[in-house]
Every structure is written in structure tokens, then in C-alpha cells.
């Protein structure tokens, strides 16, 4: 009886050790794969190959929600709040000059709206738009960086220096990536077509959560609208129905007043009829109103008259859109 029990315990110990070894081997394999990711699937060469005028340097790396902060410490929460899935990175050096190079970042953001959100929110003021990346693709050059929104992917190429040679090379890779990731009709952000004519191309932004610091305003699209040569930031957010739109508009107004805003007389009859409000928020004018299934308004305008004019144009446009989409 004792002999049998001893053998059983020995067998159980051996099996346990084998299982542990298998688990360790699996974990090591997963780690190796994650640190030597085959970037060729993205149209980018592996470390042993070259990409046009560049050669990849070192191994590709992959980051997820658990370790994203290691790569982009400080910015990780913004990506994660916008639906981040994973990040693949790879360094490249120019064949003609090893001192010139860039690091490629490919963020999988799960869907096109999430990718566009992080792209638009980080767009630099000195950006020059890239207009040859195809339909439903967005990109710009700013200094030593190129940033792109392609379908569910937000992509950055950060150069080692501000060099025309380097930027031209990165532009070529941007085209390769746009062909590889070619967005489809399902990636089209139809809401950008809801803006009235006259908005500044490339000025669009999408804040998925906590728009303008108010957690009750989500999926808020904004763009700069030109009035008398001056830019006015207009915005809208599509809600489930007209009742919800009215509730969110009121809650945003209350949020402004609670945080130090002062009520201002509404001069525009169109804005009055829409049930809109104007608030002086520490020297800048905020406007909010419901328009069918939309909450709309103006954010941080310097001039009250221009702000109300922008609101009028937006009210008219959102009424048309509501009729078109059957809201």
C-alpha cells in the first residue's frame, strides 16, 4: 500500500514538472514572437530585408495594453481610452546615410474612428497635409514626423532629424503603407461630411470621450469654420434621439456655468429659436444647442458675433443632415 502511494506521488511529480516546463516553453515562445514580429505583413521589411531607401535596424517590437507605457510613457492613457489594441514598432536607417533614420509606430486602434481620433487630437499646428494617400486616409508632415490614419491603424514615422531627404523617403513609405492598409468603404468617417461648406480642410477632430473636459459629451466632431477671415471652432455630436440631444445640451450648459461660465444674451434669432445658449467662459465664447438628434455648438470663440454666425450655419446644416439620415 505504501509502495503504490509512493509511486503515484512520483508519477504526479514528474507530470507536474513536465507541465511546468511546457508552460515555460510556451511563454518564452510567445515572448520571442512578440519581440521579433514579422513586419512584412504591414508592407515593411523584416530586419534582414530592405525597404526602398531604408534598411530595418534591430528587431521589431510589439506592445499591448499591459506594457504600452514602457514605449510611450505619459501618452498611453489617451490611446487606451480610444480603443487601443496593440503597437508594433521598427527602426529604419537610410542606406545612403546611416545617421538618418526613423522609427515606425503602427497602432492597431480596433476601428477607423478610434484611429482617426488619436490622429486628429495630436495633429500639430505646423502640419502640412498629405493628400495622395487615397480615399478615407488622412496624413500630414510636421517637422521630422509623418502621421497617418489608415483604417483601424494610426501610424507615426518619427525621424532622427529634420531632413528633406529623410522626409521624402518617409513619404514613399507612407504611400506603400496606404496601399497595404487601403481603407475600405466601411472605414469612411461619414460624420465629416456633416459639416457645412467652408470648414477648413484637415482641421477636423474627433473626441470620443470627455470632449472639452465634459464627460457627458462623447463622439464630438469639431472643425474650424471661416467667418470673415477668422476661424471659429464648431462642433457636433450625434445622439440616440432628439430627447437625448436636448439633455446633453442642457448638461453641457450646466457644466459651463458650474465651472465659472457667465450667461450672455443671445442676439441671434435663429439660435434663440433652436433653444441655444451663449456662455462667456473666462473670456472665450461657448455656444451649445440641440438640433434634432444632434448637440451642436461653438467652442472657445474670440468674437461673439462670429460665434453666433458659426452657430447659425451649423444649425441649418444639422437640420438638413437630420432629415437626410432620418433622425
Read off the pLDDT of residues 216-253 as tens digits, 9 standing for 90 and up. 999 999 999 999 888 999 999 999 999 999 999 999 99
Q: How far is CA 66 from CA 28, 71, 185, 209, in A?
A: 17, 11, 32, 21
Domain locations along the chain: 39-186, 190-325
Helix (H) or strand (E) holding 62: strand 54-63
**Each residue of 152-183: pLDDT tens digit?**
999 999 999 989 989 999 999 999 898 888 88
Q: Give residues with Cβ within 8 angstroms of 54, minimum separation 6.
A: 92, 93, 94, 95, 101, 102, 169, 173
**Each residue of 2-51: pLDDT tens digit?**
433 444 444 455 445 444 444 444 443 333 333 333 445 555 554 444 45
What is the per-residue pLDDT for 133?
86
Helix (H/G/I), strand (E/B), else coil: 3: helix
What is the per-residue pLDDT for 180?
86
The model's confidence at residue 212, banded by pLDDT at 50, 70 and 90, is very high
**Each residue of 127-147: pLDDT tens digit?**
999 988 877 899 999 999 999
Measured CA to CA, the distance from residue 232 to residue 297 in angstroms comes to: 10
Contact by Cβ (8 Å): 142, 163: no
What is the per-residue pLDDT for 182?
81
What is the per-residue pLDDT for 91?
94
**Each residue of 52-75: pLDDT tens digit?**
688 989 999 999 999 999 999 899
pTM > 0.85: yes or no? no
Same fold, 39-186 and 190-325: yes
Measured CA to CA, the distance from residue 67 to residue 65 in angstroms comes to: 6
CATH number of the domain located at residue range(s) 39-186 in this protein: 3.40.1000
Q: Does 190-325 carry CATH code 3.30.70.1450?
A: no
Amino acid at each position: 500500500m505504501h509502495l503504490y502511494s509512493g509511486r503515484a506521488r512520483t508519477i504526479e511529480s514528474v507530470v507536474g514538472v513536465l507541465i511546468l516546463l511546457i508552460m515555460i516553453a510556451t511563454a518564452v515562445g510567445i515572448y520571442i514572437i512578440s519581440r521579433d514580429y514579422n513586419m512584412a505583413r504591414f508592407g515593411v521589411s523584416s530586419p534582414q530585408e530592405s525597404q526602398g531607401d531604408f534598411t530595418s535596424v534591430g528587431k521589431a517590437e510589439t506592445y499591448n495594453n499591459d506594457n504600452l507605457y514602457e514605449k510611450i510613457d505619459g501618452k498611453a492613457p489617451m490611446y487606451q481610452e480610444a480603443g487601443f489594441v496593440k503597437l508594433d514598432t521598427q527602426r529604419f536607417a537610410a542606406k545612403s546615410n546611416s545617421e538618418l533614420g526613423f522609427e515606425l509606430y503602427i497602432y492597431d486602434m480596433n476601428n477607423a474612428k478610434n484611429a482617426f481620433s488619436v490622429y486628429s487630437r495630436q495633429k500639430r499646428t505646423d502640419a502640412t497635409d498629405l493628400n495622395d494617400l487615397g480615399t478615407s486616409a488622412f496624413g500630414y508632415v510636421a517637422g521630422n514626423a509623418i502621421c497617418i490614419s489608415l483604417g483601424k491603424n494610426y501610424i507615426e514615422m518619427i525621424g532622427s532629424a529634420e531632413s528633406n531627404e529623410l522626409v521624402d523617403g518617409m513619404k514613399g513609405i507612407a504611400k506603400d503603407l496606404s496601399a497595404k492598409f487601403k481603407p475600405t468603404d466601411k472605414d469612411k468617417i461619414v460624420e465629416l461630411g456633416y459639416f457645412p461648406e467652408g470648414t477648413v480642410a484637415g482641421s477636423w477632430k474627433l473626441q470620443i470621450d470627455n470632449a472639452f473636459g465634459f464627460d457627458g459629451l462623447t463622439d464630438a466632431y469639431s472643425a474650424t469654420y471661416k467667418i470673415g477671415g477668422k476661424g471659429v471652432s464648431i462642433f457636433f455630436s450625434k445622439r440616440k434621439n432628439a430627447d437625448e440631444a436636448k439633455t446633453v445640451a442642457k448638461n453641457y450648459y450646466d457644466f459651463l456655468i458650474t465651472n465659472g461660465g457667465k450667461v450672455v444674451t443671445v442676439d441671434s434669432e435663429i439660435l434663440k429659436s433652436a433653444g441655444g445658449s451663449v456662455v462667456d467662459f473666462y473670456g472665450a465664447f461657448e455656444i451649445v444647442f440641440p438640433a434634432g438628434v444632434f448637440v451642436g455648438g461653438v467652442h472657445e470663440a474670440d468674437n461673439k458675433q462670429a460665434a453666433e454666425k458659426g452657430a447659425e450655419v451649423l444649425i441649418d446644416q444639422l437640420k438638413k443632415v437630420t432629415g437626410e439620415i432620418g433622425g
